[in-house]
Chain A
Amino acid sequence: MAEATQREFVLGEGTGGGSQNMLVGLGPSHPAMHGIIRITAELDGETFVRADVEIGYLHRAFEKDCEAGCWNNAIPYTDRLNYVSPLINNFGYCAAVEKLLGIEVTERCKYIRTIMAEISRVCDHLTCVGATAMELGAFTAFLYMIKAREYLWELVEDVTGARLTISYGRVGGVKADLPDGFAGKARHAFKETREVLEEVHRLLTGNRIFVDRMVGIGALSRAETIAYAITGPMLRAVGVPYDVRRAQPYDVYDRLEWVVPTQTDGDNYARYLVRMAEMEQSMRIVEQALAMIPGGPINVDPAGQPIDPAAYVDRGKQGKTEGLLLLPITLSPNLEGQQRAELSRVNVGDKRVVLPPKANTYGSIEGLMNHFMLIMEGHGIRPPQGEAYVPVEGANGELGFYVVSDGSGRPYRVRCRPPCLPPMAALHRMIEGEMVADLVPTFGSVNMIGGELDR
């Protein structure tokens, strides 16, 4: 202890009345934080005087790794950005590459992307609100919300085959069509989720402890929120109705009826209310999209006539192959032939981009060559030289992908604009002047996701 300090502490001399600020390191691993960051805080008693936020503990070289593989190889990495709503990352990256290529996905695919992105958003908000509540002592609310998330993750699992590392997006489409009975399952899951939201509203929204810890805490002004480029629920909580889905609509958001919920206070409670309202809006979006999703017949030729698979094979044997591959037809289920029709509904018909169905790969030389050209070293998707930036509305705000192509089969540069980096950069502004205990709800409402923050 320096002599001056000692004089202050022991003798009560100096300006601070015998006290001085203390430096405390919070983190990088701390039980009250659901994420690995380090805050070097200067405390005056229990109040933050100054805080320095340090990130990077989960850095996995996402952008560098993207440059090392083909364009499609980056899709599994994007799962691991925001791992609570990975579908949105998948679709954002695919949309950026599609913009570079100048292609547009099919109508059915747009609906599927909208539906799956909104289900992910509900999962993300459930996790965020549940975790925040739990850290304030409301463990019941957390368990209820995780229960609801489980219903939604079952939906995700039905569609993608995985719960978290889903890799469901494809450049030019999605991996597979929605499974049978999806709409019914979604209705059931939403019914359960709505019951949970109703219960949590009753448990939390007017709860004395919760309100005391949230209202007026972690507030940012409107001007500062914009200057820090904070988007998503935190921006809408200061009264700015900016939502990429509304401002620059992609997929089918402009055809559906929904509202952008806003609040004005900009504190943790306002963010909580925005997220709670957004979950209902997301479910509305999914319900409308499921009602409007175009299906269309699958086993017909271009003239609308049903095709007999045996006749198809006969024509092939006679050498009349012209136009044969263009006919959608149900083949025997081996070699995944049964998926071909479904794949053609959800993927663009661009051979430079989309893998052929396995039936074609194994069944015809054209299909095999098409497969080869997309998979083998030195080939693959080749967007023309250029650059593109595509923003989508992630669960935490604007998720942007800035991609640069040099015309080869590998991305030249993939930049992910992570939605939770700006609020983390502004975290010190939210906590300075407040108590140490207030860090917990504020950090919860920021909803930092290490995977996308540190990439």
Chain B
Amino acid sequence: MDGAAILERVRARFGPGVVDAHDHRGDHTAVVARDALLSVLAWCRDEPALAFDMLTDLTAVDYLTYPGREDGPRFEVVYQLYSVPHNHRLRVKVRVEEDDAVVPSAVALWPIANWFEREVWDMFGVRFEGHPDLRRLLMYEEFVGHPLRKDYPIDRRQPLIGPAA
């Protein structure tokens, strides 16, 4: 199925749950409301005509300094879906505010979401509600802050850790 038809079906099924959609450079993208996120993802996975059985990637973008979006929701969590049987792709995004940076976890749908969500929590400080084990993935436990946030300076030093001298 081509991307436009997929978007059409998602829109028809979820109506106002789909906040926005675009196909910039041919990547079909649906921005969905947070309340609808899990049902959209589950439906995309289970609907036979879509069958998005692979969560290729899950990441986030911090729009703090993006021109024209300084006031808008700060974070966007991005799901790249791929269907092995149908060979088509869809990008699903959900926007969250900084003071309420919580997204429902997709671990129950795809086990790979476990590590992807841990990485997003580690790098952006977006929490995933219902995640079984939301620890940092790449940084160490004592690390303070979330390094891929736009207000985290690239040259900030963190105290060294290790066995006490």
Contact = CB atoms under 8 A, between A and B. Distances in A.
- A and B bound? yes
Contact-residue size bin, chain A (C-beta under 8 Å from the other chain)? 35 or more
A63 B24 contact: no
Contacts of B115: 421-422, 424-425
Given A56-B139, A226-B84, A406 B67 contact: yes
Interface stretch (A262-270, A363-371, A383-391): A383-391
Interface stretch (B7-15, B33-41, B51-59, B94-102): B51-59
Interface in B123-159: 123, 136-140, 147-148, 152, 154
A178 to B, nearest CB: 30
Contact of B112 (A229, A385, A386, A391): A229
B67 A400 contact: no
Interface string A390-404: 010000001010101
Interface residues of B, number: 36
A246 to B, nearest CB: 9
B81 to A, nearest CB: 10
B80 interface: yes
A421 to B, nearest CB: 7
A228 B110 CA distance: 7
A404 B67 CA distance: 12
A55 B80 contact: no
A150 B58 CA distance: 37
A71 to B, nearest CB: 16
B80 A56 contact: no
A315 interface: no
Contacts of B148: 63-64
Given A55-B138, A63-B148, A389-B27, A229 B67 contact: no
B113 to A, nearest CB: 9
Contacts of B91: 389
Nearest to A421: B115
A247 B87 contact: yes
Given A398-B56, A400-B57, A407-B67, A99 B111 contact: no
Interface in B21-78: 24-25, 27, 29, 53-57, 59, 61-62, 65-67, 78
A336 interface: no
Given A56-B139, A389-B80, A425-B112, A402 B24 contact: no
A251 interface: no
Given A64-B147, A227-B111, A417-B56, 16 more contacts: A55-B138, A56-B136, A56-B140, A61-B147, A67-B154, A100-B25, A102-B25, A228-B111, A386-B24, A386-B25, A387-B27, A402-B57, A402-B78, A406-B67, A425-B112, A426-B112
6 contacts: A102-B25, A247-B87, A386-B25, A406-B65, A415-B57, A455-B138
Interface of B: 24-25, 27, 29, 53-57, 59, 61-62, 65-67, 78, 80, 84, 87, 89, 91, 110-112, 114-115, 123, 136-140, 147-148, 152, 154
10 closest residue pairs by CB, A with B: A56-B138, A425-B115, A417-B57, A229-B112, A386-B24, A59-B138, A415-B59, A228-B112, A388-B25, A413-B61
